[in-house]
Structure 1
Amino acid sequence: MTGSEEVRCMLMRGGTSKGAYFLAGDLPAGPAARDDLLLRVMGSPDPRQIDGLGGAHPLTSKVAVVSASEDPEADVDYLFLQVAVDRPVVTDRQNCGNILAGVGPFAVERGLVAAGDGETSVRIRMLNTGESAVATFATPGGRVDYTGHAEISGVPGTAAPVVIEFPPGRKPLLPTGNVRDTVAGTTVTCVDNGMPTVLVAASALGVTGYETPKDLEENLALADRLHEIRLAAGGLMGLGDVETATVPKLSLLAPPRAGGAVATRTFIPVRCHTSIGVLGAAGVAAGLRLPGGVGEGIARLPDHGDRLRIEHPTGFLEIDAGVDPGADGNPPAVRRTAVVRTARKIFDGTVFPRAAAVPAQPQGGNDGPAPR
């Protein structure tokens, strides 16, 4: 990258999130310089992000960094970065399955992957977790087509589907080794199906699980309980001190109200998601398949097939989740996870970040006459 402070960037909606997509080579190589630039690009720290691309919410303050992969089993590498809105923080401690939906189309747009005539599949290595995904999307005539008839809750209108398949990960589905744990006096199920997630019955926290995100965010007693649970669960799941981390996510579970398998309210980690993330839904779906988990007695599972409808504040997300419950001493394991998302290119061009802070000048000395 040159020192001109202008960067090639594509703004995309991926699933129910929105973010800035960059080629790795267009950003500084060092994490500190890269993160400083991204804070200025997004307009953080500022609750409104008025001087940058961010939309004043964690779901619209995200970044994808994409490059050609050296792994023979992947086409591109994808690094997800969450840019805090009102704090000068950029973190890579989580992944994002919604922003993932735009990675394949972006890779084709930037020439990292040659498009097929009809549809294209892009093998993606997710650097945050070391796991992989395959995104398949329409490319008639060798060009990405964002128009289509797929609908996803939380996004107005329709767009072309992006089918994302997640091969079974290498991490254990149950990080604690238990289907149920007691954390901060609350029974939970801790799962990791691409994202460390803690499942809690909403009723155990004195709420219904049907409240609006705004109402839940304004419940200070609930916020204190969730914070306590998250810190304790993070240590139990082997994540260490998660005080400043964005994982694990917490999902509150309640009986479904609209024909789905379960109703959810997910915290990311303080704000309540207006829908649910792809990987958060993958964790919920896998957790519901575990006999003895906290979802037992809450969820209504279908009699056949892997597909589950996860209800959330603005609709639902359908996801295929097949789980082997384990036997003969073998732990439970995920067989298959797949989801349909959509993505759309919003703009492609050059972003001009806010100027870097000028170091304070030392006091003292004769710098000329005092201002009048």
Structure 2
Amino acid sequence: MDKRTAAELNRRMLENVRANRTDLASQEITIPAESFQSPERLAQERASLFIHTPQPVAFAGELPAPNSYLTLDVLDTPVLLTRDEGGVLHAFINACAHRGAPVASGSGDARALVCPFHGWSFTTAGKLRGRPADACFNAPTSDTALQPLTVCERSGIVMVGVDPAVTQAQVDNSLFEIADELDALGLAHFRALDRREYRVAANWKLVNDLSLESYHFATLHRDSVAQMLSPSAVFDTFERHSRWAFPLKSIEDLAEMPEEKWPESLQGSCTYTLYPGVMLLINALGAQMIRAEPGAHPGESVVSYIGMHDPHSDPQAARQAYEFGGDVFAREDLPMAEACQRGINASHRDLPLGKNEPLLQFWHQLWDKANN
């Protein structure tokens, strides 16, 4: 984050802390219960927000060198990300051109990606490299290469289009509104720590909602996050994206010194939400990504929690921060999302979003707009 932005956010957070307030929306709104229950709504969301929309799926630093690769499942599509020998990023459907078996699993480095079924091998640029009994087949053509997907890396984030209808221009411009802000974070230089994957018995929006308000800090996170962070948040929107910053409790120390002597870094934590709803959690040691996507039914989601460390930070301290955040997310947040889903299913009651939950309002209105 650049110094000017950090100073502005520190000033606004300090004002909120000293006034015992948070940024507010203009009024309360209501979200219908069917938003979390309706199969028809889920089908609309899968199409408009996921299949036909570029998806932030990884950090560029998860593919750190030529011939590195990473496999993912994005909705129902097995995705293979690679860097070829020249370091150029590619995305493919992770399916061999022979019978459709995956040609890679997990992540790593390899000059050749070999299908475990019949041994067909491919370069990291997706071309057929070799196959047993080659004389039994016609000469290689484009039909024997891995099937490409549109992909780009922007501001250290990998964006993928999982449907052939998603154009390269859409993928290239998907972070345009917030690119300058993200560029200042230097995410392209961050390096991978770990990935965690969860299957959660809750609607994907309930999982996202956990990272879009601080109202729950004092109760749900009383003995964890609330010990360090204040709920006196500030928020900003960038057309289809948002930024949410909340301060360390120690930020009140800034009130005792002139601004020209303030630290140049953000005195708190910052969450950027990238359309259609992927969280980037930024702190002094590194970054995490939380990606929730719809499952097969309204009350199911698939969630990834990905950790990176800033190369200028202590990797061990960055890992500890990643594991602390991940443990809180898994032990406190995700069980609460599942409990909320059960309660909504039982009561069928619409949900009020208060004025003190402005980002929840922003994102639910944005999701509603995409489905109308």
What TM-score do you get using the length of structure 1 for normalisation? 0.22
Query: Which of 1 and 2 has higher RCO (CA within 8 Å, sep 6+)?
Result: 2
Determine which structure has the larger strand proportion and give its number: 1
